[in-house]
Chains A and B, each alone.
Chain A
Amino acid sequence: MSTALENLTLEEGKSEVLRAALACVAESSSADGGPRYSEKVCRELARSIVCRSYAKPLLELSHLLVAASARDGRYEDLFWGVSRASAGEFRRSFMALAGMRDGIVIGTNAVTHEDGDGFQISYTRMPFLAALLEFMIMTLGYPAVDDMTGELRRPGAGEEKALAAARALQRSLYAYLKEHLPPVQRQRRERHFLGFVDMRAGNRTGADAINDEVVLSYWKAYAASDEIEARTFRAVYDTARRLISVIDAAEERLSGSYAKPIGTDHEAGEVDPADLDVVVCALDDDEGPLAQLLDTCGEQVKFVNQIEAETLSELPLGEATARRIPVSVLRNAVFGAAQLRLSTALRRGGAPIGGLPVATDPFYRARLDTYATVIETTEKMALAALWSLHRARRPEAVVLALELAPDIDWGKLMPVNGDDDNDDGAVVSLAAAAALKQFFESGPNAKGDEVAALLADARTAWRGVNRNGFRGDPDADEIDVMAAAARDVLRLISAVRRTLDRDLHGVDWPTFEAGDAVAFTEMFKALYESGKEAENHAG
């Protein structure tokens, strides 16, 4: 027992050093006091460490260091010369280096190191690589990293030197993680649930075996058990949701043929780090569109306010969960929330069980209506953004217009002449440019043609909104954020619509409302009879 404790302490000590380094990276702040690296980048960094899938990123980083050293061999000035590690800031910084070094091509979307076959790094990848570099420095030390990458600073550093540096970094990181990364802990809850699923699977396999009946049954069976922590329906739902995500992703990954990446860092019998990384990544997809939009917009442009974000966060927006366990999604939203309120109230010595949905209430349908209302508001915000971006003549206005009004005959904007049939790419792009020009020259007119009417709607939407980024005349920063978020908001709308229209549609909600009201009330009574809550939470 003492050995186990000692080991636990030892492991905690190991991870404490590693956690300190990661915390440093995650807490790095930009000049305006905000985070230097986004949460998504930090999660990706942690994932690459845990999955040991850092080989390819280190190679990318090495090539990037060559490019960043173009001015005077000091790549530090580019990496830490940007306030916030964002694609936009890196793009601006690299644009200033254009032409400074042979073999480095600075493009609008990526930087290319042209030695050998050429190695391209997109600006959107750079925030993660910057975080990785800072992590390497925090763990291995700046003198050591400088020593390993010194050759990359010099003019003429080619593919060979980049590969050599990447390998040196990889070896050092491997040695460091061997010392400081504790063994992974097996997640007991998921294994227990999967075991239950296996018993009830019948002829269903994989994620198909996880359905609404299994989820509810598991909760009923183990909510009061000491064998496993499954007291809240929400926790069980989360477990199921995560299992669905990873099983689907694993199935897809292993069914495809993927070439093993160079320098794969794993021993025989272990899971391939690249496979592991992809599947772990899938766990973020459920939150993906909403988290991405919130990350892009920050406090500057409020496509979605806090209450709306909390509401939409109840929806699993990845491909699989809502399709497989639609009822569980609503059960979690309604009864998972109710259980949380209940247990909190009881802990504070509040009222006994009450205020729960009753069988005659259309509570699931009301919740669906709430989601629909929220996403309608988001669509209205997108329309308002169309007006703002149209006035600023930003091309993202076109993206929004095409998505929000796909039924419009956009061909009317194209010039009417014989050249329309010409296959010459130059003529097509000229026509597209003319259409674009006409789009921006169109004005709002509620009684006008489709584009004019759309712009009139957009203007009306704009006038009806009073949120950050949508007031008065937005400044250049707000326009930039709005433009950057245009695709994110469309992805969110699309994901929510798909979830509502496809995955959560066609369910016999009245029947479930009638049954679940009784079932959950009975379960809550059994779990939270007087005194039991306090007893369960004591010690």
Chain B
Amino acid sequence: MSDAAVHVLTTEGPSRIQRIIEEAPSVRSVICLDGLTQILPVSPAYDAFVRRPAGVIERMSGHGAYRMDVSARIDEGQSWQLAAYIGHAAQLQGGTDVTVFATGEVDSHLAVRPVEHVDVKLAALARFLDTQDIDAEKAIIVVPDGGPETPARICGIAVQRVAGVAEALAFAGLDAPAEVGPIANDDGAAAKPARRRIPLFTVLGGAALLAAALFWAGGDFVRWSAMMGQGRVLDVETSLAEAGQDTFGHVRAAMFRTWLGLSRPASPVDIVGSLVVAREASACGDAARLDVRAVTSAFAAPGEICMAEFRAVGGVDDVVVGRLGYWPAGLGNGPRPARVMRGSGDVQGRKWTLEFKDLPQAGAAMRLVVIAGGVDISGPQPWYQDLLAAPLNSPVYEAARIRLARLGFTVTSLDWRRE
């Protein structure tokens, strides 16, 4: 894992997940204290959390036995589960650069359920944070939605209330992993996976001939397809460009681009947004004194804008990603946006929530860029630089949009400003 760690919130303070190691499948999963051979009493519950059929970790990772080491004892109960899930996801994805503090119970549908003593755990966390030097911008506190009210921040770190694991993972800077094997719900319906892949040799509509041609394309297609399936869009673009250097490569690349074009979403992306407004800045923390307004292109009314929230919904089979950029001094004024929010997975789409530290004054702007396609994009994404800064009708923005279109993605953007 990277230096940024995942912590289990407990009533005695956060317990850092130090490592997660696969064990022999015949062994029961254990949680050990600080690298010692001391197995904590919560281990049987952890084993049940890991192992199929009831456990959710094996569904994610495909492995059914682990050893987890934690820095401090973990309370009995189930509230360690959310942090453990995030820890496992981070371990599978090579780590995260977000420091996570989490509490919550995770059920078999990956919903996050309320737990007790959240206030006590947050108080203990606050005492801990007073002695630490953690970058609040690169940290997140995740608690279950539906429980008693929680502060918006603890020592500057945002407290996010989540209803599902996917949201929590997004706040943690992680992607929601696909699960290994079928997920059986009580009603027998298959749950929508948090992340989709384009299967190799998928043929959409009347593309049988294309498939035959693609067969001729052979190994390149397989390789590009696999890379796309992993969300390595920029790598595919680079590889396609390199393939175009020779005649046959050019043909193959063109064919693949055509194929990508066929997989571009047909449904438009719907975007809605709301602003949370208060009479004065000091009222931003008082839920009773807040007002919620729908987002329009401009906001000219009196009052302070405490928070903005946007939701984008794409087609049923589409993956929706994007960024929300905040320009306090106006769109494009400055080398980069003051805040860039990745958002979190939502039902059939994505949600972005921005709690303002520097409340928007006249001239402040936000740009929401929503990208929809067949896969979740991973790795470097240089197109955001232009998509978040350039005016919508500018050639720079249009070039970035086309670039993504050629890779099978649609781009939808929304602008807002404070007047």
Q: Do chains A and B touch in the complex (CB under 8 A)?
A: no
**Footprint of A on B, CB under 8 Å?**
none
